[in-house]
Amino acid sequence: MIAKRKTALLLAVSTLGMSGAAAFAQDAQTQTELDALRARVEALEAANPGAGTGDLRIGNTTLDVYGYVKADFFYDTDFELGDLADATQIGEPANATSGTFGATVRQSRIGLRTNTPSAIGDIAGQLELDLFSGGTDGPAELRLRHANIRIGDNWLIGQFWTNFQPLDTYPTTVEFNGPVGIPFARAPQVRYTNTLGSDTTFAVAIEENVGGSDSNDPVLTGSIEYNNGTYLARASALYGKAQSGAVEVDQTGYTLSAGIRPWQGGLFQVNYVDGEALGPYLIAAGDAIVNGQANDVDGFTVEFRQELSPKWNVGIAYGQENYDLPTSTGTLSFTEVETIHVNAFYKATDNLTLSAEYFYGERNDAPTGRTFDSNRIQLAAQLNF
């Protein structure tokens, strides 16, 4: 609560300070305004202790600063996998190791949400950054994750997760990527969402092609989801064009997802994806086009989680991707890759979570038929705000 008060007060004072350089010439007036603003923040927090989570106002706009600080520590046994547990790097001679320790804070992120009432409904904004700019293993630099405008309950304009991605059944892992076998991409888009009854939602979107393609054509996506809190079912589809040089092919795909909470604290969920030229949308990011041909791919994930107590939960997730044509990763190339994540999360306080994970990854070398594998042990601490 103290941290939230400090955040709200700092934002309020910073906003006032940026209102104009002329304030330096009017010390008495500035002090009066600062005192009034401090009093307003204190009054807001006295009336509602949630200030700092959307209760800070500028005019009729509410502001919410959110995010987390996360520190990860990991040990790779056979191949160095970098700040991300990238299973496609397994087997590469340059990554071979007899044991390597690493650490990163690059998953840490910060975001700002706004909400403003209007005659056409509430208008909300989101801007979110993390530290993965410059590639997955470079220096910690800010990278844009989300930047979007929402109008009412129906319209989203800007960058957000692709509508093709099954967010509600995405497996939980300590490392950043999660298992292979599932779409994972953010895209600038215009999306329309609506409901069919109380438990069913559908969405359609026009998105930028972010699937590793030279194509300038838009991507069309659609999804429908049923979720009553116990059972979940979702389907999505994608259509676009993939291009490499003078070669252009159709880029199509679909996902099917399901989840069930079979008993108290239990969760079982699955995702299946299939398509052509779809690899760059998936975790392993296989090539969309190989030797002038569309590269067909299918993949799936399976996850089981169990809450042991209000503070403890454990889980296991398996993922696999299979391609018709090989993707080069340097000296080797792959058509098959799979991962296993076994993890535990401990909620030390409302804001602080400690976690541990065992990761196993395996991939083939398509030309030789050889298979390579590697292991990772990872510990992490995450403080939400």
Plot region of 67 (φ>0 → left; ψ -120 to 50 → alpha; else → beta): left
Closest CA to 263 of 300, 226, 306, 233: 306
Based on the domain organization, do 89 and 5 belong to the same domain? no
In a domain, 226, yes or no: yes
Based on the domain organization, do 91 and 9 belong to the same domain? no
pLDDT (tens, 9 = 90+) of the chain, 385 residues, equals: 334 333 433 333 333 333 333 333 333 343 444 444 444 434 433 333 333 455 688 889 999 999 999 999 999 999 999 998 999 999 999 999 999 999 999 999 999 999 999 999 999 999 999 998 866 666 778 999 999 999 999 999 999 999 999 999 999 999 999 999 999 999 999 999 999 989 999 999 999 998 766 788 999 999 999 999 999 999 999 999 999 988 999 999 999 999 999 999 999 999 999 999 999 999 999 999 999 999 999 999 999 999 999 999 999 999 999 999 999 999 999 999 999 999 999 999 999 999 999 999 999 999 999 999 999 999 999 999 9
Based on the domain organization, do 41 and 172 belong to the same domain? no
3-state secondary structure at position 90: coil
Based on the domain organization, do 214 and 298 belong to the same domain? yes
In a domain, 128, yes or no: no
Task: Indicate the pairing of strand 293-294 with strand 289-290.
Answer: antiparallel
pTM equals 0.83
Based on the domain organization, do 1 and 98 belong to the same domain? no
Based on the domain organization, do 4 and 71 belong to the same domain? no
In a domain, 159, yes or no: no
Which residue range is the domain that position 33 belongs to? 1-58
CB 179 within 8 A of CB 339: yes
Q: Which residues contact residue 353 at a Cβ distance below 8 angstroms, ignoring those fewer than 6 apart?
A: 345, 346, 347, 381, 382, 384
Based on the domain organization, do 49 and 93 belong to the same domain? no
Which amino acid, residue 349?
T
- Domain limit, last residue, from 24, 39, 58: 58
Based on the domain organization, do 77 and 43 belong to the same domain? no
Host H or E run for residue 247: strand 247-260
Identify the CATH number of the domain in which residue 189 sits.
2.40.160.10
Rounded to the nearest 10 degrees, the angle between the axes of helix 27-47 and helix 2-17 is 150
Closest CA to 268 of 259, 277, 280, 281: 259
The tally of domains found in the chain comes to 2
- 21 vs 11, 17, 25, 30, 264, CA distance in Å? 17, 8, 8, 11, 58
Host H or E run for residue 195: strand 186-196
Based on the domain organization, do 273 and 346 belong to the same domain? yes
Q: What are phi and psi of 367, to 5 degrees?
A: -65, -35
Based on the domain organization, do 72 and 47 belong to the same domain? no
Based on the domain organization, do 274 and 205 belong to the same domain? yes
The sign of the torsion formed by the CA atoms of 27, 30, 36, 42 equals negative
- Domain limit, last residue, from 42, 58, 74: 58
Host H or E run for residue 333: strand 333-347
In a domain, 363, yes or no: yes
